[in-house]
Each structure stands twice: as structure tokens, then as C-alpha cells.
């Protein structure tokens, strides 16, 4: 399926962690399909640079500096998105961080930082966007998880905990919102060639690309009304 030929004209989207890597690829794909896209990140300089690059491609982009782990930032981000772009039809929770190493050596600060962004952040965004979607009885919420949310990983206890928690939260929220015609889906990629996480010993040419994840998101937001793909597991064709 060539998702770029399918139109999202008239729709508004929000992509967290949208200034680089997977989030930037998703924002670009949604914009190329005609959506108006708000992107958020904590690094204002990088965010503005990414927004300028996307605008240079003719896309309608709204950059918003926000930390998704902070309720005030999230409320402000959603309010500004809807005021500038209209009610949100698509929300992609992509912002994520990782701390890797033996679980017994992790600090409380590591735990709070990773769980705050990867799990609490998704909760805060979903809580903020759900009321409008419920009123309109429409919407896509797509949470970018990881195969680490389904499999154990040496030196990944804190990161895996955040992603396993994200899986459980997402599946329950999907059941809570299905009756309002709101679809909550999870995308679980394997290793993606970005600057996130350790890729030591892996062949970059065999790893997933950010555009592969963007393609999965595009597929989810162009489903027929009667279908609901709740989970996408994304692996490279060859093990890197």
C-alpha cells in the first residue's frame, strides 16, 4: 500500500518527540498526506530547525516546546495545537528516552525520568486529548512502544518496564474508548537506526529505518471505518 497517495487533508495531528528520528519521520509522512501537524520536543532550537525543514517541504507545521512528563506542559501543548490547527484527529505518542544498564544499578532518578516520559507522558497526553475525541466520536491515538515491551532485554530493565507498562495502559485505554469510535493502537518496532539507544555490533543496513515506523502509522490512520488494528509488531527482514 502506498500510503502517501492516501489523503489526510483537513485533519490535524500531534506528534510528540517530533523533532528528530522516528517522530520527525512520522510528522513528515502525515504532513505529506495533507495533515496539519503539531510537533513537540523539549529542545526548542532543534524543534525550530526541524519545523523549518518540514515547512521547506511545503508542510503545515506547528512547533511546540513541551515536556510530556509535566501536566502543565501537556495541557498547554494540546490547547495550543487545537487553537491553531483545530480539533486533533490523530495523536502519536512517540516521545521516549532510555537508560540502559543492570537493573540493580539503576538510580531512582533514572527510573523516574524514563517512566515519567515513556509512560506517564503518554497517560497525560491521552488524558488531555480524550475529551474532545469523545465529544466528536472520532480519533486515532497511536503509541510508539517497542519490541522491548514484549520481550526481556539484558541491561534494559528500566526501559522495558516503561514499555511493558505502556502496552498494558494502551490496551486498556483502547477498550475504554472503542465505544466512542476512537482507536488506540500500539506500534512496536525492533531496532531502528536513530541516535536512540545502543546499536553496538549491529549492521545499520539491516536495521529498520524511521520511515518504516512512519509507514506503519500511516497505515493505521487510513484504516477503513469498520476495522481496528490494535497492534503492529515491526521487525527488519534480516536480523541486524
The single-letter DSSP state of residue 149 is: G
Residue with cell 496539519: 36
Read off the pLDDT of each residue in 93-112 and give the average, rounded to a whole number.
96
* Confidence at residue 197, expressed as pLDDT on a 0 to 100 scale: 55
Could you give the CA distance from residue 65 to residue 39 in angstroms, rounded to a whole number? 8
Catalytic residue flag (residue 159): yes
Give the model confidence (pLDDT) of 66-76 as tens digits.
999 999 999 99
* Confidence at residue 207, expressed as pLDDT on a 0 to 100 scale: 85
Residue with cell 512502544: 145
**Residue ranges covered by each domain of the chain:** 3-234
Give the model confidence (pLDDT) of 180-214 as tens digits.
999 999 999 998 987 665 556 677 778 899 999 99
Q: Which of 157, 159, 184, 215 is catalytic?
A: 159
Residue 2 banded pLDDT, cuts 50, 70, 90? low
* Confidence at residue 142, expressed as pLDDT on a 0 to 100 scale: 98
The single-letter DSSP state of residue 120 is: I
* Confidence at residue 196, expressed as pLDDT on a 0 to 100 scale: 61
Could you give the CA distance from residue 129 to residue 233 in angstroms, rounded to a whole number? 25
* Confidence at residue 150, expressed as pLDDT on a 0 to 100 scale: 94
For 234, residues 6+ apart whose C-beta sits below 8 A from its C-beta are: 147, 187, 188, 189, 190, 208, 212, 213, 216
CB 117 within 8 A of CB 68: yes
The single-letter DSSP state of residue 181 is: T
Enter the CATH code of domain 3-234.
3.40.50.720
Q: Could you tell me whether strands 61-65 and 139-144 are parallel, antiparallel, or unpaired per DSSP bridges?
A: unpaired
Residue 3 banded pLDDT, cuts 50, 70, 90? low
* Confidence at residue 206, expressed as pLDDT on a 0 to 100 scale: 80
Amino acid at each position: 500500500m502506498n500510503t502517501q497517495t492516501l489523503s489526510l487533508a483537513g485533519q490535524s495531528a500531534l506528534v510528540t518527540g517530533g523533532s528528530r528520528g522516528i517522530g520527525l519521520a512520522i510528522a513528515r509522512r502525515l504532513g505529506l498526506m495533507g495533515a496539519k501537524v503539531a510537533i513537540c520536543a523539549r529542545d526548542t532550537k532543534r524543534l525550530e530547525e526541524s519545523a523549518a525543514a518540514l515547512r521547506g517541504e511545503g508542510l503545515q507545521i506547528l512547533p511546540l516546546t513541551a515536556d510530556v512528563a509535566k501536566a502543565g506542559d501537556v495541557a498547554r501543548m494540546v490547547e495550543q495545537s487545537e487553537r491553531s490547527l483545530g480539533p486533533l484527529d490523530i495523536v502519536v505518542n512517540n516521545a521516549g528516552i532510555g537508560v540502559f544498564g543492570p537493573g540493580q544499578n539503576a538510580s531512582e532518578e533514572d527510573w523516574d525520568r524514563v517512566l515519567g516520559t515513556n509512560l506517564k507522558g503518554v497517560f497525560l497526553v491521552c488524558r488531555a486529548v480524550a475529551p474532545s475525541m469523545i465529544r466528536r466520536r472520532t480519533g486515532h491515538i497511536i503509541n510508539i512502544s517497542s519490541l522491548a515491551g514484549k520481550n526481556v532485554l539484558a541491561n534494559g530493565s528500566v526501559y522495558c518496564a516503561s514499555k511493558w507498562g505502556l502496552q498494558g495502559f494502551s490496551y486498556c485505554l483502547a477498550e475504554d474508548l472503542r465505544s466512542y469510535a476512537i482507536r488506540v493502537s500500539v506500534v512496536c518496532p525492533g531496532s531502528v537506526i536513530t541516535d536512540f539507544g545502543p546499536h553496538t555490533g549491529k549492521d545499520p543496513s539491516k536495521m529498520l529505518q524511521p520511515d518504516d515506523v512512519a509507514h506503519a502509522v500511516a497505515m493505521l490512520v487510513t484504516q477503513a471505518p469498520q476495522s481496528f488494528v490494535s497492534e503492529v509488531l515491526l521487525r527488519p527482514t534480516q536480523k541486524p
